[in-house]
Chains A and B, each alone.
Chain A
Amino acid sequence: MAYLIFSISLLLIYMGLAQLLHVQFGMLGIPNFGVVGFWGFGMYGVAVFNVQFGWPFLFALVITCLLVAILAYGLGMLILRLEGQAILCATLAFSAIVTLLVITEKWLTFGVVGLGTIQYPVRIGAATEIIYFMLLLLIIGSFQLAINKLHQSRLGRLTIAIRDNEELAASLGKDTFKTKLILFTLTSCLMGMLGGLSAPLNQFLTPNMLVPGVTFAVWIALVLGGKENTFGAMLGVFITFGLFDILVETYLPVSPEYAVMVPNFKLFLYGAVLVAVLVYRPAGILNNRQAHTRWPNADLS
């Protein structure tokens, strides 16, 4: 039971990351390949402040979020004027730097030895995990509400315009760089917050948690679910992480002689689903693009 709650809590964290990536990439067109960097910085930040400095969890979380916001703002200033591929490389490099610093700065992070134990902010005996899960549920729910609200707002309309044609949006008097910078900083800071909230879940942190695989998992989930749809992120994580990682890998009833095949079989299914989605629904399962955009008219009539 405890394992199930842990798994579902982690699923919620991934959902949150995918939701934030939906705002960054699906709405603004910023290809952030450094998700694990922001998330990992948040996680280690809270752990270091909490364990090494003895700060209370909530205070550590707030300070960490501020630090991530400053980092994201600085990074955004440097890269958000650049082309997509450059942003992709820069954010990927950023996350690699975070991981490397966690390994090398042993005085702060204990390097590969690992850092722990991070206690839950509130401890109510056996119910602690469930309460914490509820808290995460509340946060992911409010993320979803905020995203719905953003989609209906004037700012949301502007983000879609920037994604489609940034130069044209600027020529209509929109400060596209500032819009991107503000939203990139905010969403990256929230990725850091999700990292901070993951620290007590994992309790004991090692650098091998900060692998690019985290970024890729979030990206695959978002592309699978539908990067431009409000609920694409949730659905994508539910399928990849929920269905395959939790259901198939842990709870599928298989006889012991075949059990060894399950992880490979899971990856096989994972890949097959991704290929099928990309072939039949290139914009994701929840694809709300207009059909006509797939066959653009010839330029001049």
Chain B
Amino acid sequence: MKIRVRNLNKSYHLHPVLALQEAEFGAYELEGLIGPNGAGKSTLMGLLTQRIPPTSGNIWFDIDGHEHNLRTMRVHEVARLGLVKTNQRIQGFESLSIRDSLRLAATAHSQETLRGVLDKNQIDDDIESEIDHYLSLFSFSNPNGYALSGGEKKLLDILRCLVLKPRMLLMDEPTAGLPDDITQQVMRLVVEKARAQQMRVLIVEHDLELIWSFCDYVHFLSDGEMLFQGTPENVKKNRVVAEKYMGV
């Protein structure tokens, strides 16, 4: 499971935001992506999921030795391959309850057809028990109602992605907007799944403690370029990272 990027460029109005010659993500179970504000971290994640079209370059998603060129795919096709991203800003379906929102994510697209409208049984027991499982892990103020607070919406956003059973999960600032205890719970669950080889994870985060404690490998991005990559220990010790980011 690997994402390989070559000569990936993104500019807005001739102003370059990201220029990656060569990079690889997903070689380790949990990877971190850090860098100052405006370094291009979120842009990179948007490019990987094809939500943002690149100016030039190529992205390949390697699944069990079979390479898929993501450049030619649309957003939903990338998601169906198992490359899924949680959102930095709060996103949601305001008319769908927590359960319906999770059901939507868990339902296969082959069942959401006109013919499927005539199905007598619209409730899938496997999906229901999985949703019950997730809802038992986290305490929503009303698990059978709607996500109310910003924190609940953010948590729901992450759970929606987990229900999709991604091959590779990109997390864009999971701690922003989440209370500390919930963040710890979420991270424990994500780490557990990654260690069980159920998925690979790439985390963008400003909370460096979280990166140092969970990640096996860290990418440091600055001004749209990959300046340094290595284990957390090496990144911590690196002078460039210290100067550019940690303000030492």
Residues of A within 8 A of B (CB): 146, 149-150, 152-158, 160-161, 163-165, 167-176, 179, 182, 186, 228, 289-290, 292-293, 296-301
B116 and A155 contacting across the interface, CB-CB below 8 Å = yes
| A76: min CB distance to chain B, Å | 15
Q: Interface residues of B toward A: which range?
A: 35 or more
Complex formed: what's the CA distance from A273 to B221 in Å?
Answer: 59
Q: Does B94 count as interface, using CB distance less than 8 angstroms? A: yes
Pick from A157, A228, A292: contact of B146, CB below 8 A.
A292
Complex formed: what's the CA distance from A293 to B96 in Å?
Answer: 11
Pick from A155, A171, A297: contact of B112, CB below 8 A.
A155
A-B interface, 10 closest residue pairs, ranked by CB to CB distance from nearest: A173-B79, A164-B93, A153-B117, A170-B75, A173-B80, A300-B177, A154-B112, A158-B112, A170-B76, A168-B91
Q: Which residues of B contact A165 (CB under 8 A)?
A: 91-93
Taking CB as reference atom, which chain A residue is nearest B92? A165
In the complex, chain B residues 145-165 whose Cβ is within 8 Å of any chain A Cβ: 146, 148-151, 160, 164
Q: Does B9 count as interface, using CB distance less than 8 angstroms? A: no
B116 and A293 contacting across the interface, CB-CB below 8 Å = no
Residues of B within 8 A of A (CB): 49, 51, 74-76, 79-80, 84-85, 87, 89-96, 100-101, 103-105, 107, 109, 111-114, 116-119, 122, 146, 148-151, 160, 164, 176-177, 179
B76 and A173 contacting across the interface, CB-CB below 8 Å = yes
| B168: min CB distance to chain A, Å | 14
Q: How many residue pairs, one in A and one in B, have C-beta atoms under 8 Å apart? A: 115
Q: Which residues of B contact A174 (CB under 8 A)?
A: 76, 104, 109, 112
Pick from B90, B94, B117: contact of A156, CB below 8 A.
B117
Taking CB as reference atom, which chain B residue is nearest A300? B177
Q: Which residues of A contact B51 (CB under 8 A)?
A: 167, 171
B interface, over-half SS: loop
Taking CB as reference atom, which chain A residue is nearest B106? A172
| B51: min CB distance to chain A, Å | 7
A290 and B146 contacting across the interface, CB-CB below 8 Å = yes
Q: Which residues of B contact A296 (CB under 8 A)?
A: 94
B150 and A301 contacting across the interface, CB-CB below 8 Å = yes
A152 and B95 contacting across the interface, CB-CB below 8 Å = no
Known contacts: A289-B95, A292-B146. The answer to whether A152 contacts B179 by CB under 8 A is: no
B84 and A149 contacting across the interface, CB-CB below 8 Å = no
A161 and B79 contacting across the interface, CB-CB below 8 Å = no
Q: Which residues of B contact A289 (CB under 8 A)?
A: 95
A172-B79, A297-B149 known; 7 new pairs, CB 8 Å cut-off, are A150-B117, A155-B113, A160-B93, A160-B95, A170-B75, A174-B109, A298-B150
Complex formed: what's the CA distance from A5 to B211 in Å?
Answer: 73
Complex formed: what's the CA distance from A289 to B100 in Å?
Answer: 15
Known contacts: A156-B117, A164-B94, A186-B114. The answer to whether A297 contacts B76 by CB under 8 A is: no
Q: Which residues of A contact B118 (CB under 8 A)?
A: 149
Pick from B76, B151, B160, B179: contact of A175, CB below 8 A.
B76
